Amino acid sequence: MITHLRVMGTVYDVEVKPNLAADDGHWGETLQRNHSVRVDPDSDQPTVLVHETIHTIEQALNIEPIDEEHVHAIARGWVCILGDNPDMVVWLVQELFKDDQVTLKEVAAQLLEEAT
């Protein structure tokens, strides 16, 4: 899991919090007051992280909250699409970081190191 999430200039701490769902009935939560996102380790973490990220976007853009059913559908949809289209993920990373000093090879090496 990542430890920080930058959303349009605001940095959120990201924390894996056991028993979150048991305590309050949600797999994840976004706390605007202290810029933190929490994810239950027993959840579908990618979907929950994208779900909570959508809530941070609502705050960053100061838009009306999207109902939970739609937030979940959009989050689950994105996770499925990214999982089914690894070439899209690679292309997005290449496109978004093409001007950075970090190369895709370095990112891949870091991922492999973390996985072992």
| Contact flags string 15-54 toward Zn ion, x per CB under 5 A | ----------------------------------------
CA distance to 65, 101, 104, 115, per residue, from 94 (Å) = 32, 12, 7, 21
Q: Least CB distance from residue 102 to Zn ion, whole Å? A: 32
CB 51 within 8 Å of CB 75? yes
Stretch near Zn ion under the rule CB under 5 A, chosen from 11-19, 39-47, 65-73, 94-102:
65-73
Identity of the residue, 24 or 68, whose beta carbon is nearer to Zn ion in the bound complex: 68
Q: What is the CA radius of gyration of the chain?
A: 15
Identity of the residue, 58 or 97, whose beta carbon is nearer to Zn ion in the bound complex: 58
Q: Least CB distance from residue 7 to Zn ion, whole Å? A: 15
User: Of 113, 19, 9, whose CA–CA distance to 62 is shortest?
Assistant: 9
Q: Least CB distance from residue 51 to Zn ion, whole Å? A: 5
Instruction: Please give the residue ranges that form the binding site for Zn ion (CB under 5 A).
Output: 68
